[in-house]
Structure 1
Amino acid sequence: MITEVLAIDDEQSLDKALAVLRSGELVAIPTETVYGLAADANQPDAVRKIFAAKGRPADHPLIVHVDSVDKVERWVAQVPECVAKLADAFWPGPLTLILPKANHVSTVVTGGHSTVGIRVPNQSGVLKLLSMLDSGLAAPSANPYKRISPTNAEQVMYGMDGKIAAVLDGGPCEVGLESTILDVSTDVPRILRAGPITKSQIETVLGCEVHIPQSHNVAVPGNVKAHYQPSKPVQLLSSELLATTLTGLSRSAQNDIAVLYYSEPLQMALEGSAAVKMKLSSDKQLYGQNLYYALHQLDQADVSQIWVELPPTDELWLDVHDRLSRSSAK
Structure 2
Amino acid sequence: MNTLKLQGDLATDVDTAARLLQQGELVAVPTETVYGLAANAADPEAVNGIFVAKGRPADHPLIVHLPSVDQLPQWAIDIPETARQLAQAFWPGPLTLLLHKHPDVSPVITGGLDTIGLRVPAHPVLLDLLHTAGIGVAAPSANPYKKLSPTTAIQVFETLQGKIAAVLDGGPCEVGIESTIVDLTGVQVQVLRPGPISARQIADVLQQTVATPEQHQVVVPGNVEEHYQPGKPLQLFSSVHMEQALQLRPDGIACVVHSPEYSDSLRPGDIMLSADPEGYAQALYQTLYQLDQGPAEEIWLELPPMTDAWQAVNDRLLRAGKVVGDRG
Paired position in structure 1 for 2:289: 296
Paired position in structure 2 for 1:133: 133
TM-score (normalizing by structure 1): 0.96
Query: 2-side partners of 1:3 and 1:115: how far apart?
Result: 33
The within-5 A match list for 1:270-281 is 270-271=265-266, 273=267, 276-281=269-274
Paired position in structure 1 for 2:261: 265
Paired position in structure 2 for 1:113: 113
The within-5 A match list for 1:102-251 is 102-249=102-249
Query: 2-side partners of 1:113 and 1:126: how far apart?
Result: 27
Contact 1:99/1:183 (<8 A) preserved:
yes
Superposition CA RMSD, Å:
1.2
Q: Deviations over 1:88-128 (max 9, x none)?
A: 11110000000000001000000110000000000112112
Query: 2-side partners of 1:329 and 1:312: how far apart?
Result: 16
Paired position in structure 1 for 2:43: 43
Query: 2-side partners of 1:310 and 1:142: how far apart?
Result: 26
Q: Deviations over 1:117-150 (max 9, x none)?
A: 0000001121121112222100100000000000
Query: 2-side partners of 1:283 and 1:322: how far apart?
Result: 16
Q: Deviations over 1:158-202 (max 9, x none)?
A: 111111000110000000010000000112111000001001100
% identical aligned pairs: 51
Contact 2:99/2:183 (<8 A) preserved:
yes
Q: Deviations over 1:272-330 (max 9, x none)?
A: x5x73011111211111110000000111111111110112221110000000000159
Query: 1-side partners of 2:208 and 2:247: how far apart?
Result: 49
Contact 2:236/2:322 (<8 A) preserved:
no
Q: Deviations over 1:1-30 (max 9, x none)?
A: 011110112111011101110111100000
The alignment status of 1:312 with 2:282, answered yes or no, reads no
Q: CA deviation at 1:243?
A: 2.2
The alignment status of 1:325 with 2:318, answered yes or no, reads yes
Q: Deviations over 1:12-69 (max 9, x none)?
A: 1011101110111100000000000000000000000000000000000000000111
Contact 1:257/1:276 (<8 A) preserved:
no
The within-5 A match list for 1:13-92 is 13-92=13-92
Where does the alignment leave 5 or more consecutive residues of structure 1 unmatched? none
Contact 1:36/1:141 (<8 A) preserved:
yes
Contact 1:226/1:329 (<8 A) preserved:
no
Paired position in structure 1 for 2:277: 284
Query: 2-side partners of 1:24 and 1:329: how far apart?
Result: 39
Contact 1:239/1:266 (<8 A) preserved:
no
Tell me the amino acid that sits aligned with residue 260 of structure 1: V
Q: CA deviation at 1:78?
A: 2.1
TM-score (normalizing by structure 2): 0.96
Give the secondary structure class of the aligned counterpart of 1:117.
Answer: strand
Query: 1-side partners of 2:261 and 2:238: how far apart?
Result: 12
Query: 1-side partners of 2:243 and 2:296: how far apart?
Result: 18
Where does the alignment leave 5 or more consecutive residues of structure 2 unmatched? 324-328
Aligned length: 323
Query: 2-side partners of 1:127 and 1:187: how far apart?
Result: 32
Tell me the amino acid that sits aligned with residue 23 of structure 1: Q
Q: CA deviation at 1:246?
A: 3.1
Query: 2-side partners of 1:78 and 1:165: how far apart?
Result: 36
* CA 106–329 in structure 1, closer or farther in 2 if over 3 Å, else same: farther
Tell me the amino acid that sits aligned with residue 258 of structure 1: A
Query: 1-side partners of 2:295 and 2:14: how far apart?
Result: 38
Tell me the amino acid that sits aligned with residue 52 of structure 1: V
